[in-house]
Amino acid sequence: MKTSEELKNTVKEKYSEIALQSKEDNAVSCCGVGSDCGVDYTIFSEDYTKLDGYNADADLSLGCGLPTEFAQINEGDTVLDLGSGAGNDCFVSRAITGENGKVIGLDFTETMINKARENADKLGFNNVEFRQGDIENMPIGGNSIDVVVSNCVLNLVPDKQKAFSETMRVLKAGGHFSVSDVVLKGELPEGLKNDAEMYAGCVSGAIQQTDYMNIIMNTGFEAVSIQKEKPVILPDEILKNYLSDDEIQQYKDGDFGIYSITVYGRKPNNCAPGSGCC
Protein backbone atom coordinates (compact mmCIF):
# COMPACT_ATOMS: atom_id res chain seq x y z
CA MET A 1 0.00 0.00 0.00
CA LYS A 2 1.44 3.32 -1.03
CA THR A 3 1.81 6.15 1.47
CA SER A 4 -0.06 9.42 1.00
CA GLU A 5 3.11 11.10 -0.18
CA GLU A 6 3.78 8.34 -2.73
CA LEU A 7 0.23 8.65 -4.07
CA LYS A 8 0.62 12.41 -4.40
CA ASN A 9 3.86 11.94 -6.30
CA THR A 10 2.12 9.48 -8.64
CA VAL A 11 -0.58 12.02 -9.42
CA LYS A 12 1.92 14.84 -9.85
CA GLU A 13 4.07 12.79 -12.24
CA LYS A 14 1.20 11.65 -14.44
CA TYR A 15 -0.54 15.01 -14.68
CA SER A 16 2.73 16.80 -15.34
CA GLU A 17 3.10 14.61 -18.44
CA ILE A 18 -0.51 15.19 -19.49
CA ALA A 19 -0.09 18.96 -19.14
CA LEU A 20 2.49 18.92 -21.92
CA GLN A 21 0.07 17.31 -24.38
CA SER A 22 -2.95 18.59 -26.26
CA LYS A 23 -6.54 17.48 -25.77
CA GLU A 24 -6.26 15.56 -29.05
CA ASP A 25 -3.15 13.72 -27.85
CA ASN A 26 -4.91 12.78 -24.62
CA ALA A 27 -7.94 11.54 -26.51
CA VAL A 28 -6.07 9.23 -28.88
CA SER A 29 -3.63 7.75 -26.35
CA CYS A 30 -4.75 5.09 -23.92
CA CYS A 31 -4.21 7.16 -20.79
CA GLY A 32 -3.02 10.55 -21.84
CA VAL A 33 0.68 9.79 -21.50
CA GLY A 34 1.50 7.00 -23.90
CA SER A 35 0.21 3.80 -25.41
CA ASP A 36 1.07 1.14 -22.86
CA CYS A 37 -0.49 2.12 -19.55
CA GLY A 38 -4.08 1.18 -20.18
CA VAL A 39 -6.06 4.02 -18.62
CA ASP A 40 -8.08 6.34 -20.78
CA TYR A 41 -8.31 9.57 -18.81
CA THR A 42 -10.95 10.92 -21.22
CA ILE A 43 -13.64 8.25 -20.70
CA PHE A 44 -15.01 10.19 -17.73
CA SER A 45 -15.20 13.60 -19.41
CA GLU A 46 -18.22 15.57 -20.59
CA ASP A 47 -18.66 18.11 -23.36
CA TYR A 48 -17.79 21.68 -22.39
CA THR A 49 -17.82 23.16 -25.87
CA LYS A 50 -21.27 24.78 -25.62
CA LEU A 51 -20.59 26.56 -22.33
CA ASP A 52 -19.84 30.29 -22.19
CA GLY A 53 -16.19 30.88 -21.40
CA TYR A 54 -15.05 27.61 -22.94
CA ASN A 55 -11.46 27.74 -24.18
CA ALA A 56 -10.14 24.84 -26.24
CA ASP A 57 -6.53 25.36 -25.10
CA ALA A 58 -7.63 24.83 -21.50
CA ASP A 59 -9.67 21.69 -22.16
CA LEU A 60 -7.63 18.52 -21.61
CA SER A 61 -10.74 16.30 -21.23
CA LEU A 62 -9.72 15.32 -17.71
CA GLY A 63 -12.98 15.98 -15.86
CA CYS A 64 -15.87 13.69 -14.97
CA GLY A 65 -18.71 16.19 -14.86
CA LEU A 66 -19.76 19.79 -15.36
CA PRO A 67 -19.69 21.22 -11.81
CA THR A 68 -20.01 24.83 -12.98
CA GLU A 69 -23.39 23.92 -14.49
CA PHE A 70 -24.72 23.18 -10.99
CA ALA A 71 -22.60 25.55 -8.90
CA GLN A 72 -25.07 28.45 -8.67
CA ILE A 73 -22.33 30.98 -9.33
CA ASN A 74 -23.48 34.61 -9.33
CA GLU A 75 -22.00 37.70 -10.93
CA GLY A 76 -19.35 39.18 -8.67
CA ASP A 77 -18.65 35.94 -6.78
CA THR A 78 -15.19 34.77 -5.76
CA VAL A 79 -14.81 31.21 -7.05
CA LEU A 80 -12.13 28.66 -6.16
CA ASP A 81 -11.44 25.71 -8.49
CA LEU A 82 -9.66 22.82 -6.76
CA GLY A 83 -7.36 20.97 -9.14
CA SER A 84 -7.74 23.59 -11.84
CA GLY A 85 -5.54 21.92 -14.46
CA ALA A 86 -5.12 24.05 -17.58
CA GLY A 87 -7.90 26.40 -16.45
CA ASN A 88 -11.02 25.00 -18.12
CA ASP A 89 -13.47 25.35 -15.22
CA CYS A 90 -11.88 28.64 -14.16
CA PHE A 91 -12.58 30.26 -17.50
CA VAL A 92 -16.15 28.95 -17.56
CA SER A 93 -16.61 30.29 -14.00
CA ARG A 94 -15.18 33.64 -15.04
CA ALA A 95 -17.81 33.94 -17.77
CA ILE A 96 -20.43 33.82 -14.99
CA THR A 97 -18.74 35.96 -12.30
CA GLY A 98 -17.87 38.65 -14.86
CA GLU A 99 -15.29 41.36 -14.52
CA ASN A 100 -16.43 42.20 -10.97
CA GLY A 101 -15.82 38.67 -9.72
CA LYS A 102 -12.65 36.73 -9.09
CA VAL A 103 -11.59 33.19 -9.91
CA ILE A 104 -8.72 31.33 -8.26
CA GLY A 105 -7.39 28.06 -9.63
CA LEU A 106 -5.45 25.81 -7.25
CA ASP A 107 -3.36 22.95 -8.60
CA PHE A 108 -0.71 20.63 -7.17
CA THR A 109 1.28 20.41 -10.42
CA GLU A 110 3.67 23.16 -11.46
CA THR A 111 3.42 22.26 -15.15
CA MET A 112 -0.37 22.60 -15.06
CA ILE A 113 -0.12 25.96 -13.28
CA ASN A 114 2.24 27.25 -15.97
CA LYS A 115 -0.10 26.05 -18.72
CA ALA A 116 -3.11 27.68 -17.07
CA ARG A 117 -1.29 30.98 -16.62
CA GLU A 118 -0.31 30.97 -20.28
CA ASN A 119 -3.94 30.43 -21.24
CA ALA A 120 -5.10 33.25 -18.94
CA ASP A 121 -2.51 35.61 -20.43
CA LYS A 122 -3.73 34.82 -23.95
CA LEU A 123 -7.28 35.69 -22.88
CA GLY A 124 -6.19 38.90 -21.16
CA PHE A 125 -8.03 38.14 -17.91
CA ASN A 126 -6.91 40.15 -14.89
CA ASN A 127 -9.32 38.57 -12.41
CA VAL A 128 -8.27 34.93 -12.86
CA GLU A 129 -5.21 33.71 -10.99
CA PHE A 130 -3.58 30.33 -10.49
CA ARG A 131 -1.79 29.18 -7.35
CA GLN A 132 0.26 26.07 -6.78
CA GLY A 133 -0.65 24.23 -3.61
CA ASP A 134 -1.98 21.17 -1.83
CA ILE A 135 -5.75 20.76 -1.44
CA GLU A 136 -5.08 19.28 2.01
CA ASN A 137 -3.40 22.55 3.03
CA MET A 138 -4.71 25.30 0.76
CA PRO A 139 -2.78 28.59 0.38
CA ILE A 140 -6.13 30.39 0.58
CA GLY A 141 -7.38 32.71 3.32
CA GLY A 142 -10.23 31.54 5.52
CA ASN A 143 -13.81 32.76 4.95
CA SER A 144 -12.85 34.28 1.59
CA ILE A 145 -14.59 32.17 -1.08
CA ASP A 146 -18.22 32.26 -2.23
CA VAL A 147 -18.22 29.09 -4.33
CA VAL A 148 -15.84 26.12 -4.57
CA VAL A 149 -15.88 23.90 -7.66
CA SER A 150 -13.80 20.86 -8.52
CA ASN A 151 -13.84 18.35 -11.36
CA CYS A 152 -12.63 14.79 -10.82
CA VAL A 153 -9.87 15.81 -8.41
CA LEU A 154 -10.86 15.27 -4.77
CA ASN A 155 -10.98 11.51 -5.32
CA LEU A 156 -7.22 11.73 -5.98
CA VAL A 157 -6.55 13.38 -2.61
CA PRO A 158 -5.41 10.77 -0.05
CA ASP A 159 -6.94 12.57 2.97
CA LYS A 160 -10.42 13.47 1.77
CA GLN A 161 -11.54 14.50 5.26
CA LYS A 162 -8.77 17.11 5.31
CA ALA A 163 -9.71 18.28 1.81
CA PHE A 164 -13.32 18.94 2.81
CA SER A 165 -12.24 20.50 6.12
CA GLU A 166 -10.08 22.91 4.15
CA THR A 167 -13.02 23.58 1.82
CA MET A 168 -15.11 24.45 4.87
CA ARG A 169 -12.37 26.76 6.16
CA VAL A 170 -11.96 28.82 2.99
CA LEU A 171 -15.68 29.24 2.26
CA LYS A 172 -17.54 32.27 3.56
CA ALA A 173 -20.46 31.64 5.92
CA GLY A 174 -23.33 30.55 3.68
CA GLY A 175 -20.92 29.78 0.82
CA HIS A 176 -21.18 26.47 -0.97
CA PHE A 177 -19.41 23.95 -3.16
CA SER A 178 -20.36 21.89 -6.21
CA VAL A 179 -17.85 19.17 -7.05
CA SER A 180 -17.82 16.34 -9.56
CA ASP A 181 -16.02 13.17 -8.52
CA VAL A 182 -15.71 9.44 -9.11
CA VAL A 183 -17.12 7.13 -6.43
CA LEU A 184 -17.78 3.42 -6.06
CA LYS A 185 -20.74 1.25 -5.22
CA GLY A 186 -19.50 -2.19 -4.24
CA GLU A 187 -15.98 -3.57 -3.87
CA LEU A 188 -13.36 -2.69 -6.48
CA PRO A 189 -11.41 -5.71 -7.84
CA GLU A 190 -7.90 -5.95 -6.39
CA GLY A 191 -6.30 -5.67 -9.83
CA LEU A 192 -7.79 -2.23 -10.30
CA LYS A 193 -7.45 -1.16 -6.69
CA ASN A 194 -3.69 -1.62 -6.43
CA ASP A 195 -2.45 -0.19 -9.72
CA ALA A 196 -0.80 3.23 -9.67
CA GLU A 197 -1.95 4.04 -13.19
CA MET A 198 -5.54 3.39 -12.22
CA TYR A 199 -5.04 5.61 -9.20
CA ALA A 200 -3.84 8.51 -11.33
CA GLY A 201 -6.69 7.78 -13.74
CA CYS A 202 -9.23 8.39 -10.96
CA VAL A 203 -10.69 4.93 -10.43
CA SER A 204 -8.47 3.53 -7.69
CA GLY A 205 -8.46 6.83 -5.85
CA ALA A 206 -12.24 6.63 -5.51
CA ILE A 207 -14.01 5.53 -2.33
CA GLN A 208 -17.47 4.21 -1.62
CA GLN A 209 -20.21 6.74 -2.33
CA THR A 210 -21.67 6.34 1.17
CA ASP A 211 -18.26 7.02 2.72
CA TYR A 212 -17.75 10.03 0.47
CA MET A 213 -21.10 11.54 1.45
CA ASN A 214 -20.51 10.79 5.14
CA ILE A 215 -17.18 12.66 5.05
CA ILE A 216 -18.94 15.73 3.68
CA MET A 217 -21.75 15.61 6.24
CA ASN A 218 -19.39 14.88 9.13
CA THR A 219 -17.35 17.94 8.16
CA GLY A 220 -20.40 20.05 8.99
CA PHE A 221 -21.81 20.98 5.59
CA GLU A 222 -25.57 21.33 5.31
CA ALA A 223 -28.07 20.81 2.47
CA VAL A 224 -25.76 18.08 1.12
CA SER A 225 -27.21 16.53 -2.03
CA ILE A 226 -26.24 14.69 -5.22
CA GLN A 227 -27.00 16.98 -8.14
CA LYS A 228 -26.16 14.49 -10.87
CA GLU A 229 -25.14 10.83 -11.07
CA LYS A 230 -24.04 8.73 -14.03
CA PRO A 231 -22.33 5.35 -14.39
CA VAL A 232 -18.78 5.15 -15.75
CA ILE A 233 -18.21 2.18 -18.05
CA LEU A 234 -14.65 0.87 -18.36
CA PRO A 235 -14.15 -0.76 -21.79
CA ASP A 236 -12.88 -4.33 -22.01
CA GLU A 237 -9.59 -3.18 -23.56
CA ILE A 238 -8.84 -1.30 -20.36
CA LEU A 239 -10.06 -4.00 -17.99
CA LYS A 240 -7.86 -6.60 -19.73
CA ASN A 241 -4.79 -4.76 -18.48
CA TYR A 242 -5.77 -5.49 -14.89
CA LEU A 243 -8.15 -8.47 -14.79
CA SER A 244 -8.35 -11.97 -16.26
CA ASP A 245 -11.26 -12.88 -18.55
CA ASP A 246 -13.02 -14.62 -15.66
CA GLU A 247 -12.46 -11.62 -13.40
CA ILE A 248 -13.84 -9.30 -16.07
CA GLN A 249 -17.01 -11.38 -16.31
CA GLN A 250 -17.35 -11.46 -12.52
CA TYR A 251 -16.84 -7.69 -12.50
CA LYS A 252 -19.64 -7.19 -15.03
CA ASP A 253 -22.00 -9.63 -13.32
CA GLY A 254 -21.34 -8.35 -9.81
CA ASP A 255 -23.23 -5.84 -7.73
CA PHE A 256 -20.66 -3.16 -8.41
CA GLY A 257 -20.42 0.16 -10.15
CA ILE A 258 -18.20 3.16 -10.81
CA TYR A 259 -20.12 6.43 -10.85
CA SER A 260 -19.49 10.07 -11.57
CA ILE A 261 -21.44 12.23 -9.13
CA THR A 262 -21.80 15.97 -8.72
CA VAL A 263 -22.34 16.90 -5.07
CA TYR A 264 -23.53 20.13 -3.42
CA GLY A 265 -22.91 21.27 0.13
CA ARG A 266 -23.28 24.59 1.97
CA LYS A 267 -21.34 26.06 4.87
CA PRO A 268 -23.74 27.06 7.66
CA ASN A 269 -24.59 30.75 7.88
CA ASN A 270 -23.67 30.77 11.56
CA CYS A 271 -20.21 29.33 10.82
CA ALA A 272 -18.17 32.43 11.67
CA PRO A 273 -14.60 32.70 12.94
CA GLY A 274 -14.54 31.51 16.54
CA SER A 275 -17.78 29.54 16.31
CA GLY A 276 -15.95 26.20 16.22
CA CYS A 277 -17.09 24.97 12.80
CA CYS A 278 -14.34 26.73 10.84
The whole-angstrom separation of Cα 124 and Cα 146 is 23
pLDDT band for 8, please (50, 70, 90 cuts). Answer: low
> Is 157 part of a structural domain of the chain?
yes
Q: For residue 42, what are the CA distances in angstroms to 32, 102, 125, 239, 275?
A: 8, 29, 28, 15, 42
DSSP 171: E
What is the rounded average pLDDT of the residues 128-133?
96
- The helix or strand, by DSSP H or E, that contains position 4, with its residue range, turns out to be helix 4-19
pLDDT digits (tens, 9 = 90+) for 149-166: 999 888 888 899 999 999
What is the rounded average pLDDT of the residues 29-54?
55
At residue 41's C-alpha, the angle toward residues 39 and 46, to 5°, is 145
pLDDT band for 37, please (50, 70, 90 cuts). Answer: very low
Question: Are the C-beta atoms of residues 212 and 240 closer than 8 Å to each other?
Answer: no
Q: Domain total for the chain?
A: 1
Q: For all residues of the chain together, what is the average pLDDT?
A: 81
> Is 278 part of a structural domain of the chain?
no
Does position 240 have pLDDT exceeding 50, yes or no? yes
> Is 245 part of a structural domain of the chain?
yes
CATH number of residue 131's parent domain? 3.40.50.150
pLDDT band for 21, please (50, 70, 90 cuts). Answer: low
> Is 273 part of a structural domain of the chain?
no
pLDDT digits (tens, 9 = 90+) for 88-100: 999 999 999 999 9
Residue-number span of the structural domain to which 206 is assigned: 4-266
Higher pLDDT, 84 or 189: 84
> Is 83 part of a structural domain of the chain?
yes
pLDDT digits (tens, 9 = 90+) for 56-100: 787 776 677 889 999 999 999 999 999 999 999 999 999 999 999
Whether this model's pTM surpasses 0.85: no
Does position 4 have pLDDT exceeding 80, yes or no? no
DSSP E strands: which ranges in the chain? 78-82, 102-107, 128-132, 145-151, 171-185, 222-231, 257-266
Higher pLDDT, 18 or 233: 233
Residue type, 248: I
> Is 62 part of a structural domain of the chain?
yes
> Is 64 part of a structural domain of the chain?
yes
> Is 253 part of a structural domain of the chain?
yes
DSSP 66: -
Does position 136 have pLDDT exceeding 60, yes or no? yes
pLDDT digits (tens, 9 = 90+) for 167-181: 999 999 999 999 999
